Amino acid sequence: MSFTNSEDKSDEIENIWKIILDFANSWRLSFARIFKVWKWRWRRPARMEAACCSKKTCRLPFSSSLSEAVTLTYFEFSLGSSTNRRKMVGQEEGNRNSVTDSQQQWNQWQLLDSILPTGGFAHSLGLEAAIQARIVNGPQDLYKFVILVLENVGSLLLPFVHTMTIAHNEKTWHKLDRMLDAMLSNETARKASTAQGSALLRVAATVFTEITPLKLMRERSVSSNSRMSFHHAPIFGLVCGLLGFDLRTSQRAYVFIAMRDVLSAATRLSVIGPQAAAILQHQITPIAEEILNKWIDRNVEDACQTAPVLDVIQGCHPYLFSKLFCS
């Protein structure tokens, strides 16, 4: 079609843009799609006049490559509008689930990251006292000591992590906090647990702002007369439960944190070098998994102390003449 005057030309152009904008708003088309089809039709100049005349199409006032591109695009979306909408809904749900899963993994890595200021590296879990008592003298002794620490963590603390991951509510938390405070037999371990637990709760409530109940529970527990001790194991399980971690992940993470902290303390106490500590950690990993499988998913009624010697050694830490760690 040829334009007779400028007024007709402007009217036709205005009609073209109205149709294009209508398509874009109704079917969520993009100009990239239109020009992609336009380019394809320009390379293959076969017309679709006969096919489009019998279909519900919206042709532009002139026959051109752009007209056929818009017609073809609208024709494709008209035929499969319901199917496309179902696909779009499925894709949106899949993307939402993948975003949730990926965010959960990021939260897990951040919770285990040493940069999180929870105060874990201020404690040696009794290693410093064991070194000065000549119980740990080298890498071989350190290997046995780490396994002893993990065994004690699994038997005594994993039940609290497990229970709080399942029932991450304020009432259960207060109950388990008082129970663990009564079970810890030496003052050094009790103070270390409360210091790390308080720091973890404060940091988690500040960092993970999407967990509104965590901040509210912390504010109520701090301001109330509940005499909370804020022990580390129940709070770790509480945070993991609110973040949506599964039971095995939360308990394995707690065992990993214990192994990480004691090996870091051994490096700073010059018992072993950084590279040797990394090698030792890799060697202990299968044993740590066995310890996890041994003590996983136990109730707090089954919590027990399996390393009384470690408990005695850790209790001697305040009496050291010179010390680098708080416990």
Give the 3-state secondary structure of residue 318.
Answer: helix
Q: Which residues contact 327 (CB under 8 A, 6 or more apart)?
A: 122, 123, 124, 125, 126, 188, 189, 191, 192, 314, 317
In degrees to the nearest 10, what's the CA dihedral of 26, 31, 37, 40?
180
The answer to whether the beta carbons of residues 145 and 271 sit under 8 Å apart is no
- For the chain, the first-to-last Cα distance in angstroms comes to 89
Model confidence pLDDT, tens digit, residues 55-71 = 444 444 434 444 444 44
Residue position matching structure tokens 């809904």: 89
The answer to whether the beta carbons of residues 125 and 261 sit under 8 Å apart is yes
Model confidence pLDDT, tens digit, residues 26-43 = 555 444 454 444 444 444
CA-nearest of 223, 230, 204 to 215 is 204
Instruction: Tell me where in the chain the CATH 1.10.4190.10 domain(s) lie.
Output: 113-319
The rounded distance, in Å, linking the Cα atoms of 186 and 157 is 15
The rounded distance, in Å, linking the Cα atoms of 255 and 112 is 11
The rounded distance, in Å, linking the Cα atoms of 203 and 63 is 66
pLDDT in single tens digits along all 327 residues of the chain: 444 555 565 667 777 767 766 666 655 544 445 444 444 444 444 444 444 444 444 444 434 444 444 444 444 444 444 455 455 545 544 444 443 778 888 888 888 887 777 776 788 888 988 988 899 999 999 999 999 999 999 999 999 999 999 988 889 999 999 999 999 888 888 988 999 999 999 999 898 888 888 888 888 888 766 678 899 999 999 999 999 899 999 999 999 999 999 999 999 998 999 999 999 999 999 999 999 999 999 999 999 988 888 888 888 888 888 887 877
The pTM is what? 0.69
Superfamily of domain 113-319: Urease accessory protein UreF (1.10.4190.10)
